[in-house]
Amino acid sequence: MKIHKNILVITALLLSGCELTEVTNPYVTEDRFLTGSQSAVTWVNGVRRQLSQTVGTVTEFTELVSDNYFNNYTQSSKVFDVPQINYFDIDVTRIQTAIHQLLEMSEFGLTDVLPRDPESTQQQRAELLRNKAYALILGAELFVALPAGPLGEVQEPEQLLLTAAGLLDEAAGLFAEQDDKLVCALLKARIYYRLGDAAQAIRFAQEAQANPLLLSQVHYGTQTGPSNNFQSAIFSSTTNQFAPLPRLDFLDPKYFHTTGVVFDDEKPISIAKAEEAFLIIAEAQAAANELAAARETLRQLLTETVAKRPVVMLDDSRETRNGGNRGDYPLTAVSVRFDAGSDPVEGLVLDRQAGLIPARTVSGTSVTGAQLDAAVSQDELLYLIYLLRQEIFMAEGRRMTDLGIRFPVSQREEQNNSHVRPEHTKALIPSFIPVNRELDDFTYDAQQGVVTIRHDMNKILVAHKSAPEIFPFNN
């Protein structure tokens, strides 16, 4: 998917959010921009905004594909909940385009903008390197394969991840702030986790644990900045477009506004946070049957990180799950069974009319220390790890990858890039993934006050832990 350099320049100017009074012609050329003042600052600002837009696009559509959210209205994808993913779907194109725009804008900044601006800095170079690496990570996690450049050869996820690791090495050496270096380490842990390299994943995850509250987020909601469309879908809109799986009700909304002016109060989305370091280490320990060590790592996760994340008491009395595609979402505090064979659990569905509810903008979980103590087998611990991953990363676009689902290369790419082969245009949906919208399905016995989820997907994942699409350390 080739993006012309002049278009990249125009895009960056539009995305930068800067007051560029000297630029009044929307058809500004590459040479005019590169020889102008503050080109590096303007470009990096534009890439930051593109990063926010890319993360927002990925979050919206991957959350619908997963069992986290159901499209309970008529907007956004109508088929991702099935899940039905076709290479000609316009939403597949949108996701790939967003990732490639971030990738190409980062690359253009590194090769064309920064070298031409004598005032450019190492910090700017490090940031663009990290953003390019992040685009490659998204491509590797979300797609069956992707080209890493305009009309280039289609690369397998492993290739994309290894390239990203090299970029993060360079970025870490340029950043001055320790937390920036730690974010690079955490992203490398994520890379080696996906590659199934436990030793390297643990090494970089332990490095990132130097700050147990490490957090990197993309931001929204300025006068000239992008909007958090996911916040609108789950909170700000008068119609509640996306509804969470009832057992995740207590974690919704993750993004919300408490002021009258929405664009002044749009919440950021996390792209790297310390919780992941603990989860990676614990999963590696569990896969190696070091169960006591895994329990202790998870206990530290709960006490040293999740428990210290912010909680806001929120008035969410407007929430009625009134989208219309499904009208039987529970609106009072009822118990939840994770599937027909599970015992009911209290406290997961909130009564939002009874008063303020706790809202968590970074992390929250239902998993307790007592549950960790009771998990005495490898499968029981792996189940809790994936429940923690689902809850902690909810509304951040991570669950689809944990389910083993991947998008195909888009039709637009296939029509323009001779390197795309027929196998690249087929989505990867593992055989154990329920179809016909069963991922989001449940029944509600209002008389008994019990919701029963149709499938406990974490139980299904553990039962298929040797499948090549999931559980990287078990393959």
Name the more confident of 239 and 447. Answer: 447
Predicted local confidence at residue 475, as pLDDT:
77
pLDDT of residue 259: 77
Whole-angstrom distance, CA of residue 465 vs CA of residue 206: 24
Stretch 461-473: mean pLDDT: 97
Q: What CATH number does residue 253 fall under?
A: 1.25.40
pLDDT at 127: 98
| The pair of three-digit structure tokens given for residue 300, joined into one six-digit string | 């530290």
Which are the contacts of 7, defined by CB distance < 8 A and separation ≥ 6?
Answer: none
Q: Which residues pair with 451 in a beta bridge?
A: 336, 444
Contact 264, 221 (CB under 8 A): yes
Taking only the tens place, the pLDDT of each residue in 345-373 is: 999 999 999 999 999 999 999 999 999 99
Number of structural domains (the chain) is 1
Structure confidence at residue 19 (pLDDT): 28
| Amino acid, single-letter form, for residue 461 | L
- Strand runs labelled E in 207-299: 215-218, 242-244, 269-273
The answer on pLDDT for 411 being more than 60 is: yes
The predicted structure's pLDDT at residue 402: 98
Burial of 436 (0-12, 13-18, 19+ CB in 10 A): exposed
Region of poorest pLDDT, from 19-28, 59-68, 210-219, 284-293: 19-28
* pLDDT for residue 74: 73
**What is the predicted pLDDT for the residue at 75?**
76
Q: Which residue has the tokens 């530290």?
A: 300
For 357, phi and psi rounded to 5 degrees?
Answer: -115, 155
- Would strands 450-453 and 335-337 be described as parallel, antiparallel, or unpaired? parallel
9-23, 201-215, 296-310 — which is least confidently predicted? 9-23
Lowest mean pLDDT among 76-80, 155-159, 277-281, 416-420: 76-80
Decide: 280 and 205 in contact? Cβ < 8 Å: yes
Q: Identity (one letter) of the amino acid at 286?
A: A
How far apart CA 170 and CA 174 sit, in angstroms, is: 7
Is the Cα dihedral 233, 235, 239, 245 positive or negative?
positive
Q: Provide the pLDDT for residue 3.
A: 52
Phi and psi (nearest 5°) for 24?
Answer: -110, -15
Q: Closest Cα partner for 72 from 261, 245, 317, 299?
A: 245
Mean pLDDT of 115-119: 94
pTM for the predicted model, two decimal places = 0.93
Mean pLDDT to the nearest integer, 142-156: 95
Cross-strand bridge partners of residue 452: 337, 443
Residue range(s) defining the domain that contains residue 22? 5-474
Q: Residue 397, by phi and psi: left (phi above 0), alpha (psi -120 to 50) or beta?
A: left
CB count within 10 Å of CB 23 equals 15
Q: Both tokens of residue 456?
A: 């406990």
pLDDT at position 324, please? 83
For the chain, give the mean pLDDT: 92
Give the per-residue pLDDT at 17. Answer: 35
